[in-house]
Amino acid sequence: MKDLVFALPILLPLLTAIVALLAGRRRWRRWLIGLSATAQLGVALVLAHGAYGQPPQVLGLGGWAAPYGIVLVIDLLAAIMLALGALTALAAILFGYAELPPEDENPLRLPLIQFLVTGINLAFCTADLFNLFVAFEVMLIASYALLTLEADDWDIKQAFPYLALNLVGSTLFLVAAGLTYGMFGSLNFAQIAERADALAGTPQLTLLALLFLTVFGMKAGVFPLFYWLPNSYPILPSPVAALYAGMLTKVGVYVLLRIFGQVLPPDLSLPHLLMAWLAAATMIFGVLGAVSRNFIRGILSFHILSQIGYMVLAIGLFTPYALAAAIFYIIHHIVVKSTLFLVGGTVVVLNRTDDLEKTGRLWLATPVLGVIFLLQALSLAGIPPLSGFWGKYMIIVEGLRQQEWVLVFCALLAGVLTLFSMLKIWNGAFWAAAAKEGVHTEERRWRPMAAVAGGMTVISLGIGFGAEFFLGVAHEAARQLLDRPAYIEFLLRGGG
């Protein structure tokens, strides 16, 4: 029974995807996928509850034990990520149901979303470097397909950098995996961690760490390798964009946390320093890109990068407190970011466009949507007591403690510019009078769409007001992550 529960985060979306693919375009398919997405969220929450304060759960695939077989490990951090992924996927799926009637939706979209979730979940659970590569490939191939599924010529041109850069990233990942195997004779996380301690401080290990930083930094969208992201996300249909914005780059951040926090030894000052400074550059360039854009999804896409900067900065500062801050920031960011994309999708339905020159009058037409947007935008900018404030506060406190004045200044500056670009959306879409086509409130579907966004906002408010609880969870997850001896001991000798 235990094995079944721990395999469920991967098996459930995979089976759902297959059944949905075989079902073609039947009507009951939506119920099936909706129920499955809800069940996935339930399973993830149960796993997170079980992982709190407990040693990680190990599942050896095929009955092979840790150093030889591939193992799935679910600790608190992985369980939190699974829950967030399931939540975002559920919101995206429900939003999609509200947005389009079943016959107008591409029948491949829902199966592909489930395949994407399978890949994401496998990346969260795995404790093997090559299996992680496989998980990335499953995730990326599903994401390539979703990106171009409903695309026209222009969209495909925008999607090309996404494909090209991710292919380069995958190749580098393979190189890094080969190098790791050459150095340690193993791809198992625990065994790498055990053997890496002996190499601490040598140039080989620094080189490997830099290679990992390049590969996963690229997936996370860290400066200067973020070019694939900001142009490709706006071509996605809004619910899929919300899922991408919430999860895909965060998989990269999660792996950075896992590799640098747990697998590699903690005394890698050069890669950590480099990570922190790249993060600062990501923040500033991301938010400047956002300021330069003039349509909602474009602004939000650049904001993903800017926010990634905060998380990676926290990893670069590399203290238990900073890693807890990064984990809390991920929890906050995934919910807020995907909600903002859902609000953007609702604006597209109401105004027929999200070009800020042509949108307007939404505050008069739908104050509710305005409140949802305002809460999430201010949270993104880090206004207390909303959820974004706590993450930023912790990161800045840690930066001040380490006397990194320039990094702290960059973080504060990015916060101010975030507020500025959010006000740009507010002015253009909600406050401005000039809506070229008027507001189409007669479209009934905007109400359920706004309801999904509202539900996510309630969760985000919960994170902000219940920050103490979530900070406790983040500290516990960071503690488990940094407890390398226990992880090695448990996986290689005591596990499962």
Partner 1 sequence: MKTGDSYIFRAVGSFLFFVINVFAVYLLLRGHNLPGGGFIGGLGSALSLIMLSLAFGVREAQKVLRVDPTRLAAIGLLLAVVTGMLPLVVGEPFLRHFHWKLEELPLLGTLEVGTPLIFDIGIFLVVVGVTAKMIFVLFRSISGLTALNPSEWRRYAADLEEPVEREHSRSSSELETEDEP
By CB under 8 A, what part of segment 292-321 binds partner 1? none
| Crossing angle between the packed helical segments 320-351 and 76-99, to the nearest 10 degrees | 0
Distances (CA, A) of 33 to 39, 47, 335, 389: 10, 21, 21, 35
Identity of the residue, 8 or 342, whose beta carbon is nearer to partner 1 in the bound complex: 8
Angle (CA) 305 236 457, round 5°: 65
Identity of the residue, 1 or 433, whose beta carbon is nearer to partner 1 in the bound complex: 1
442 binds partner 1 (CB under 8 A): no
Stretch touching partner 1 by CB under 8 A, among 146-154, 271-279, 376-384, 412-420: 146-154
Stretch touching partner 1 by CB under 8 A, among 45-53, 61-69, 340-348, 485-493: 61-69
Largest Cα separation within the chain, whole Å, is 67
154 binds partner 1 (CB under 8 A): no
CB-based contacts of 236: which residues, under 8 Å, 6+ apart?
Answer: 146, 147, 244
d(Cα 288, Cα 273) in Å, to the nearest integer?
A: 23
60 binds partner 1 (CB under 8 A): yes
d(Cα 392, Cα 370) in Å, to the nearest integer?
A: 24
Q: Which of 28, 53, 152, 154 binds partner 1 (CB under 8 A)?
A: 152
Identity of the residue, 103 or 468, whose beta carbon is nearer to partner 1 in the bound complex: 103
By CB under 8 A, what part of segment 67-126 binds partner 1? 103-108
Q: Count the site residues for partner 1 by CB under 8 A.
A: 27
B/e letters for 261-271, b = 16+ CB within 10 Å, e = fewer, are bbbbbeebeeb
For residue 292, with 0-12 CB atoms within 10 Å meaning exposed, 13-18 middle and 19 or more buried, which class applies? exposed
150 binds partner 1 (CB under 8 A): yes
15 binds partner 1 (CB under 8 A): yes
Stretch touching partner 1 by CB under 8 A, among 31-39, 47-55, 60-68, 243-251: 60-68
Stretch touching partner 1 by CB under 8 A, among 14-22, 187-195, 203-211, 331-339: 14-22
21 binds partner 1 (CB under 8 A): yes
How near is the Cβ of 127 to partner 1 at its closest, in Å? Answer: 15
63 binds partner 1 (CB under 8 A): yes
DSSP 355: B
483 binds partner 1 (CB under 8 A): no
How near is the Cβ of 3 to partner 1 at its closest, in Å? Answer: 5
Q: Is-contact 150 448, C-beta < 8 A?
A: no
172 binds partner 1 (CB under 8 A): no
Number of Cβ within a 10 Å radius of residue 157: 12
Stretch touching partner 1 by CB under 8 A, among 20-28, 183-191, 320-328, 481-489: 20-28
Q: What share of the chain is helix, strand, coil (3-state, %, to 5)?
A: 80, 5, 20
d(Cα 307, Cα 286) in Å, to the nearest integer?
A: 8
Question: Which uninterrupted H or E stretch holds 60?
Answer: strand 57-60
Identity of the residue, 36 or 262, whose beta carbon is nearer to partner 1 in the bound complex: 36
Angle (CA) 203 208 210, round 5°: 95
459 binds partner 1 (CB under 8 A): no
26 binds partner 1 (CB under 8 A): no
Identity of the residue, 4 or 433, whose beta carbon is nearer to partner 1 in the bound complex: 4
For residue 461, with 0-12 CB atoms within 10 Å meaning exposed, 13-18 middle and 19 or more buried, which class applies? middle
How near is the Cβ of 337 to partner 1 at its closest, in Å? Answer: 27
DSSP 233: G
Q: Is-contact 237 150, C-beta < 8 A?
A: yes
62 binds partner 1 (CB under 8 A): yes
How near is the Cβ of 62 to partner 1 at its closest, in Å? Answer: 4
Judged by the rule CB under 8 A, the positions of this chain that interact with partner 1 are 1, 3-4, 7, 11, 14-15, 18-19, 21-22, 24-25, 59-63, 103-108, 150, 152-153
